[in-house]
Structure 1
């Protein structure tokens, strides 16, 4: 008998629906033969989701924790009903099902980070221990279930958990940038958060000192940090919800040429046109932001007659965890930046 590779048996009341699309999952015990059971320590909520929840409840840490608990209790997983996004977790392996493919790679007690979204991960929160609003993290007591198809990374021993979690949460972003950036290109990264910083570091590596690298953000302080460690050639303070203004700023910075590639890592909505308008005809836009609207991007590009290839950032790229951790290990100033922000 084939194993339940994708966790279809955990979907409540919707036959044939995959867990990510399901309205509700069954997170109950016991662990099944194709599953991995995790004692959860921390949830790293994705930036767009945490921002929305924080705004909804007024920024109070206790209320943020209660709202997250409420969502998980209702849905059996952490999937923000407004943004549709989740995040990822770290914890310790508690049990390996008899037919889980990681039986030869993991043992009970190993500490791991899941590299699949919380939107498809059965989860129970028994207690919210702490809310770290500055880094979008929630420490909890509870359990989660990883399906046979679920990817993960063993937590490294040479850096703090919180730092590794912050980087692994967005490790698909720099890995996809590595595929698309070539020497001589003009590249812009919109958003100076953790994914933006990693994308800039990888783009700089790929450019090999040939090309131009722009960082765009609404926060001058964040831009100053990136500039200070040499992660960009040009730092532009912009409001990404103002598409035409951003285009004009980028055009001026590139002598009217615009960009070969723009990577959107913004954690707010309505930034699609800033991205599209900043790309030259024939260029590429990569959307990593969970606040992106496909409709706004597709119809927006059509509406302005922009010939742009649009890529939806996939959180999974083969080797993405190793690539991201290598960036931190080999870029001391990037590691210091992450250490300052996320420890």
Structure 2
């Protein structure tokens, strides 16, 4: 809280302005920043507001960081994360980092003190990934991961930016499968925005979790001398995408049993699309970067099901009041970006699932500015 300039008495994420002084406290770490990764909702909002003009987007980011001492978009309330090299470590820091470590921060830029030193001169404002020189401060309760040596840094950054999504989806799917031990037929998991970063990882995690649950069910059945029955521990993965181009990409990746094109903002249209492909979902995961998807997600979910909102474009009042108005008996979860072991889990999915890896690499090739995807 000593980094909070105003208002007094709040934690750094809720602050209007932070102090990015490079002199660190005993339990702090200073990072020399080399790249920011703006979260999808924030970048989409900035790009839309400024009509796709990269120069204006760059100026807007510089203004936000200059005024607030952090990258905290005042419209979306979101920020992103960064990669860089550890410059200095306070003697009481519990993070286990050493000077020279190349790391990705796994906490939001909305609570990370940040100062930009190069005016973002190497960024054209047209990509979520932002080449940058400056410094950032990590606290004792921050999270950071040393970048893996076997992956391109931009690829690792793209994965770690959304690593909370697959870990939470896997947890929910495992629990949902346990809760329906007496049920027959697969658990339906629908992912909105399934061809994106968090969406593709969410699909992979759902199928991975089903495999874990089947192994456990078989072990329990064998120990009890019972017949092994997998009927209630399978997952039907449904990917919802916005257009035929994304449908082709996701189909080629092989991550979903069914891929359907629908507008995630059209509640009735999405529900009808799911009805045509097998009915509502037991678990619905929202990974789109535009607002207005709350009611569609609720209506797409079966009674007693779960909706995971993993998008910073979500209006949580709209979700809560919409579910009430629809008399929808659904559990709604906010994906907060942190589950223990989330970074290692997401990187494992990337390494072991060719479909996930292909989608990420294609995204970097098409969306990164020159030099970032080399």
TM over 0.5: yes
**Alignment match, 1:171:** 163
- Determine if contact 1:173/1:288 at 8 Å carries over to the other structure: yes
Which of 48, 51, 59 is matched with 1:58 structurally?
A: 51
Q: Could you state the TM-score of these two structures normalised by the residue count of structure 1?
A: 0.94
In the alignment, the residues of structure 2 paired with residue 89 and residue 29 of structure 1 have an alpha-carbon distance, to the nearest angstrom, of 17
SS at match of 1:131: coil
**Alignment match, 2:237:** 213
In the alignment, the residues of structure 2 paired with residue 215 and residue 132 of structure 1 have an alpha-carbon distance, to the nearest angstrom, of 32
SS at match of 1:159: coil
1:246 Cα offset (Å): 0.5
1:334 Cα offset (Å): 1.8
1:40-79, aligned counterparts within 5 Å? 40-79=33-72
SS at match of 1:92: strand
- Determine if contact 1:163/1:339 at 8 Å carries over to the other structure: yes
Stretches (4+) displaced over 4 A: 132-135
**Alignment match, 2:133:** 141
Which of 222, 227, 239 is matched with 2:246 structurally?
A: 222
Aligned length: 332
Higher mean displacement: 26-35 or 16-25? 26-35
In the alignment, the residues of structure 2 paired with residue 133 and residue 76 of structure 1 have an alpha-carbon distance, to the nearest angstrom, of 20
**Residues 77-125 of structure 1: CA deviation (Å, up to 9, x unaligned):** 00001000000000000000121113xx322111000000000000001
**Residues 312-341 of structure 1: CA deviation (Å, up to 9, x unaligned):** 001010000000000011112321221222
Gaps of 5+ in 1: 1-7
- Is 2:322 the counterpart of 1:300? yes
In the alignment, the residues of structure 1 paired with residue 199 and residue 124 of structure 2 have an alpha-carbon distance, to the nearest angstrom, of 20
In the alignment, the residues of structure 1 paired with residue 299 and residue 355 of structure 2 have an alpha-carbon distance, to the nearest angstrom, of 32
Higher mean displacement: 189-198 or 329-338? 329-338
**Alignment match, 2:217:** none
1:135 Cα offset (Å): 4.5
1:221 Cα offset (Å): 1.3
- Determine if contact 1:214/1:232 at 8 Å carries over to the other structure: yes
**Alignment match, 2:355:** 333
1:56 Cα offset (Å): 1.3
- Is 2:111 the counterpart of 1:109? no
SS at match of 2:115: strand
1:288 Cα offset (Å): 0.3
SS at match of 2:130: strand
**Alignment match, 1:265:** 287
Q: 1:134 to 1:166 in 2, by over 3 A?
A: farther
- Is 2:99 the counterpart of 1:96? no
**Residues 8-56 of structure 1: CA deviation (Å, up to 9, x unaligned):** 0000132220000000001012112111000000100000000000111
- Determine if contact 2:253/2:354 at 8 Å carries over to the other structure: no
Which of 1 and 2 has greater Rg? 2
**Residues 121-170 of structure 1: CA deviation (Å, up to 9, x unaligned):** 00001120333666511111110000110001000110100000000000
What is the RMSD of the two structures over their aligned residues, measured on CA atoms? Answer: 1.4
Gaps of 5+ in 2: 178-185, 212-232, 365-372
- Determine if contact 1:263/1:287 at 8 Å carries over to the other structure: yes
In the alignment, the residues of structure 2 paired with residue 118 and residue 237 of structure 1 have an alpha-carbon distance, to the nearest angstrom, of 33
**Alignment match, 1:4:** none
- Determine if contact 1:129/1:138 at 8 Å carries over to the other structure: no
1:156-305, aligned counterparts within 5 Å? 156-182=148-174, 184-191=186-193, 192-208=195-211, 210-254=234-278, 257-305=279-327
**Residues 184-205 of structure 1: CA deviation (Å, up to 9, x unaligned):** 2101000121000100111122
Q: Could you state the TM-score of these two structures normalised by the residue count of structure 2?
A: 0.86
**Residues 248-295 of structure 1: CA deviation (Å, up to 9, x unaligned):** 1111211xx411000000100000011000000000000001000110
- Determine if contact 2:81/2:109 at 8 Å carries over to the other structure: yes
